[in-house]
Structure 1
Amino acid sequence: MAGYKETPRQKMIAMMYLVLTALLALNVSVEIIEAFVSVNHSIENTNENLKSKIEETYARFEQQHLLNEAKVGPFWDKAKEARQLSDDLIKFIDETKYEVISKSEKITIDEARATPLGKISTRDKYDVSTNYFFGGSQDGSKGKAGELKIEIEDFKTKILNLVDENKRANLKFGMDTEGPFYDASGKKQNWEQHNFYHVILAANVTFLNKLIADIRNVESDIVSSLYSSISADDYKFDQVAPKVIPSSKLVFQGDTYEAEIMVAALDSKQNPEVFIGGRQIPASGGIAKYTVSAGATGLQTYRGTIKVQGPDGEPKDYSFEESYFVMTPSLTVAPTKMNVLYANVDNPISISASGIPESQIQPTITSGTIRRDGKEWVVRVPLGQKATISVVHNDGKTQRKMGAADFRIKRVPDPKAYIANTDGGPVQKNMLLAARAIIPRMPEDFDFDLQFEIVSYNFAGVRGGDMWERAATGNMLTQEMQTFISNCKRGERIWIENIIARGPDGNRKLGTISLTVQ
């Protein structure tokens, strides 16, 4: 916003004042006096208009302050200080103006305020006003003129400090107190002498009102400069669009979806320079689109810099960091009737949740223990009816229940005893002697790598019509049993019974191996 500028009419009034002041030094005629009255009236009207326009600026300023106190506050405080400085000096000038009229006319201050310049009978006199402004001093420094000069210079110093130094050169003050000044004969004068020594009251009043106009112009420029500073560092945009930025596009049941909804602005005429990993990302219409092949799984983080031209024309750098999660495509097909855990053995299981790193998965079990083993988990449960595994997602900030799965607990099935690669029936004598050991085998559909060992067994056969029995420990045939087998004839029967096998959950009694020697 530009400061308030003088209109051609205002410039003409100021020029007329200068001309009249020059003529005044030569001759005080009725026409010149009445011309001062006319010019003064125009200046008073101008001052009222200036005040109204400045108040409009203050109103807009205050509205911006209400909308954004943090940003506008420092500028608004300076604007209020400019208003106070201006009002204080104008009040001093008004008091001076009405006081000199009061003394010259010998009326009260209130009467002086109510009397227009054209009605003042002593408007063409200067004795009282000169004495008032000079106070008996030759140069005016001891009178009201000296006080006014000090007030003006103090005002100029303080109000200039409200704006940045680089903007002060653009401000134009109409209150020159330094000069040089000269009278009609070319003799050098100071400011007090030039404006108040032997100057008629009409010219004094007009000059004081002109000072008020100068103050209002300076105030307008200062406040306008401060107002423009509010948006000096703002970026300019030509497009706005709604944007929804979710904290995550993956939301689990029972969790909360959260998103930032805003109106985003951009400059479609200026493409930002976006660099990620040293590589510039193409931009069009003010937007850069980053694409990258999803290779490694898990949390992926990237960092970069955006370069844009600032309001001052200088490039500005803004760093950013973002992350995304890469998952392996997965398919889960699970038989609902076969959620089984075997008691007293290590049950390997796999636990995963889409969109969640393995390190943030925390399972628990209602019966037994569960521990991590590499990328899998190992569950060990006692014999019972059911165990429930519950999974929690723990990201270090919050914990979310991901769900639970129920498992039936079953006893590990009994192994079957084999010898010579058979669990019973016809067997070649030489095969039986070559094997010499009883081997426990788990059922073929049992996928666990589980081992049992034979603890003891009984060996029985018929010899000469009598039952021949022997007991043994371990799984090996004794020498005596091997001799018995060597002497067996084709068709004779052998029984290996009361077989005891030891497994992870204790001893089991296995079925009898009934053999017929071939």
Structure 2
Amino acid sequence: MAGGKETPRQKMIGMMYLVLTALLALQVNSAILLKFKFLDDSLSNINQKVDKANDSAVKGIQAQVEKNHNLPKDVAVLKQGEEVREKTKQVVSYLQGVRDKLLAATENTKGGSAYKNMSMEDKVAITMLGPSRNGLGYEMKDKLNGYSTFIKGVVPGAQALALDAKEDPGVTEPSQKSKNFAELNFENTPLVAALAVLSQKEAEVLKYESDALAELSSRVGGQIIVFDKIGAFASAESNTVAAGTKYKAELFLTASASGMKPSMTLNGSPLQVGPDGKGKIEFTATPGAFNAEGIAKKEWKGTVRIRNNGRDTTFNVTVPYMVTKPVMQIQSASVQALYFKCGNKLTVTVPALGANYKPGFSASGAQVIAGAKTGEVTLVPNSGEVTLNVSSNGNAIGSQTFKVRAIPKPDIKCMVGGREANEKQGTPIVAVRNLSLRAVPDQGFANFLPEDARYRVTRYEVTLVRGRRPAMQTMTFDSPDANLTAVVNSAREGDRLFIEVKEVRRMNFRGEQEEVRMTKTFNVPLL
């Protein structure tokens, strides 16, 4: 076969040939014989159309030569094209003659719509193989291969059209490999199958001619554009309409040429063009100047360039589109304000993006820590105001500004004997044996950021006071709990305990500790 990419029509012919080859290897019945006739009729119809197209191709070359003022080199190309056309007609006429002889040998009528004898393998064998390899099949091989040799003068990649089984890559059965071209195609072959083989060979001849004429046409600057793909297309003003409003669209025909390979660009960048001749446009919409309704008007520009009549022809298109501003949804225990130097956890979603949401975060006035799940982020403020910036796949989505609250101080409670010490009425001396200072966080802060609301009294002093003077040396404790047995043994009714908190520390969400600047004292009367 000739080199180069094949059109859908040529691929279909090749597929028919494969089906034909497979059917030839089967024991045939009347139903299969009808399938052979269908293949033959289909190929014949296609061949008639290709023959007319090739005739028009020569006329197209002639018109281009005349347009170029009959330059000698172009006239020579036209002459070669006419020679290709004439040579093809001779081979096609020869194949038609073989068809007529087969019909006569099998007692069928030439040009009839139905055959009374669709099988008659013996008559086919006598006609095509002969008693001593002198049948029409051997002569046909020489005719076909002579034609392909002629076409090589124009299309160097053209291969022989009539192959023996050992040369044909489509023949894989070992039992068939020893057969020559005539035996492979016409031995034990019913009439309708033999006629289908002739139609297939005619299709290959016409395909070679098409390749040759296309090559010759390009030499005179003429490219034959056949728009063989026609379809309907609709373009709507909008795919989304509100109830009660009008839907508007335009419906029109589109056409493309399967043999043409256009080049395309999108906003000046090369665009990949598929085998169907269509450029696939896909890009991520970026934000723009959004109006009050959250819509930004944009456009993209495309070009389609084809080779037509020896010159590059470029078609330009500008397509407007609109970008809607995505709506961010921020979920948190509280988003009115963040807490200073705390791990404020937020979840930011953009429902309009769906699975395409690939968030990125940055902020001014805070450290940003990305979460393990999509949309999760932790902000650690270091100023009085924080602005969170959200993007997706590198495209900005929006920003949100937060006020920053100071961390509320914890409340220190003095616990004695399992109860809170009574600074007004007093506490029994024996109850102060076990004393504990508890740092209790603000309830709202603890609910919002429990991992940042962990407090501990880490140092305080206890002094037993009698009248206006200490009754014993001041004791210092480095943990919330204290054993005051020594105080109980020395205390008298009317004495008091003076407790002064020296240090309170807070553990944050990272497990780090920081000192809380605060003071607190207790005066507990002893009973």
Instruction: Tell me the TM-score normalised to structure 1 length.
Output: 0.39
Larger Rg: 1
Instruction: Tell me the TM-score normalised to structure 2 length.
Output: 0.38
